[in-house]
Structure 1
Amino acid sequence: MEETNWEQRVQALTHVLTNPTRNPSLHSQLFISTQIPCYLNWSYPPILCNKDQHTNAFPSLHLRWGFSLFLKRVSRLGAPETSWRSRCPFQQPPPLILAKGVEEAQWGDEQRRDYFKKRLRRKRFVSDVNPLIPIMIPNILLLSLLFWNPFPEDKL
């Protein structure tokens, strides 16, 4: 991606953002491959990449792409890939795959009010640690230095 200029990057990014899909069309793949010649993190093989065609290095580009795709799928344990967009059911356009536990958006007034009330009743994302613990632990450690000297002076 270092060999592309900013205009090509912006065009490719605009295309990816305006056409979100898991199965890009051939036209989309060709467009991205001309803008960014070696965009290996897409879900299609790098058949149009001409970066490593002249070298016979092992592992080949296709083998590296296949292995990275395998690692991505293994890390998710076969579950579909979700992102922050998948957790926003009221986003336009709606996400392709909803995250686990997220219901499809209901657009009636009463359904939106119920959804908002349910979001307000949801427990806040905070830790249940007693507030004295973060204060007491460092103070106890400093107090222990008064009784125990970790760097004793050399005895004569």
Structure 2
Amino acid sequence: MEDTTWEQKFTALTHILTNPTTNPSLHSQYFIANQIPCYLNWDFPPLLCPKYQNNPTFNLKWSFSLFLKRLRAPPISWRSKCPYSQPPPLILGKGVEEAKWDDESKRLYFRKRLFRKKLVSEVNPLIPILVPNVLLVWVLFWGPIPLDDP
């Protein structure tokens, strides 16, 4: 995005906001490809990018990066850890049980969430205060900077 002007970014954003669709037309794809640069981490092929039309190695790099992306496990978002969200997440996070919608299981899930261990540090609160102060006093008494220059 470094080699695009603010006007190009603004027109591309305006086009995306005024034409919301999951299946953009070829004209729309070509317009966006001319407005903003293409990168390797995009999901659609860089065939319409004018910058890379004469560079066949870029298409090979893009296809290889897409292949590597498909080999990895899909990323887990915060929604994957919320089994009771609507619509339910496609992939549940590790350690999260599938949502059970009967009343008793919802009550048990709520109790388990209510009485779980809090996210609190187990460190004594004096340690973060004492350790830096003791180090500071030690450095002051050690005297790394000589006061008397002969």
What is the TM-score of this pair, normalised by structure 2?
0.69
Output the aligned Cα RMSD. Answer: 3.3
Give 1 or 2 for the bigger CA radius of gyration. 2
Residue by residue over 1:79-112, the C-alpha shift from the partner in whole angstroms, topping out at 9 and shown as x without a partner, is: 3321111111111111111111111111222221
Which is worse superposed, 125-134 or 33-42?
33-42
User: SS state of the match for residue 48, structure 2?
Assistant: coil
In the TM superposition, what is the alpha-carbon distance from 1:59 to its structure 2 partner? Answer: 4.9
Structure 2 equivalent of residue 21 of structure 1: none
Tell me: CA distance 1:31–1:92, structure 2 relative to 1, closer, same or farther (3 Å). farther
Structure 2 equivalent of residue 24 of structure 1: none
CA distance in structure 2 between the partners assigned to 1:55 and 1:153 by the alignment: 68
CA distance in structure 1 between the partners assigned to 2:118 and 2:130 by the alignment: 25
User: SS state of the match for residue 51, structure 2?
Assistant: coil
**Where does the alignment leave 5 or more consecutive residues of structure 2 unmatched?**
none
The answer to which structure has the higher helix fraction is 2
User: SS state of the match for residue 86, structure 1?
Assistant: helix
Tell me: CA distance 1:119–1:126, structure 2 relative to 1, closer, same or farther (3 Å). same
In the TM superposition, what is the alpha-carbon distance from 1:113 to its structure 2 partner? Answer: 1.2
Identity of aligned residues (%): 46
**Where does the alignment leave 5 or more consecutive residues of structure 1 unmatched?**
17-26
Which is worse superposed, 31-40 or 86-95?
31-40
Tell me: CA distance 1:91–1:65, structure 2 relative to 1, closer, same or farther (3 Å). same
1:82 maps onto 2:76 in alignment: yes
AA at the equivalent of 1:106 = K
Structure 2 equivalent of residue 8 of structure 1: 15
CA distance in structure 1 between the partners assigned to 2:54 and 2:138 by the alignment: 62
In the TM superposition, what is the alpha-carbon distance from 1:47 to its structure 2 partner? Answer: 4.4
What is the TM-score of this pair, normalised by structure 1?
0.67
Structure 2 equivalent of residue 46 of structure 1: 45
Residue by residue over 1:118-148, the C-alpha shift from the partner in whole angstroms, topping out at 9 and shown as x without a partner, is: 1112222222212111011111012113311
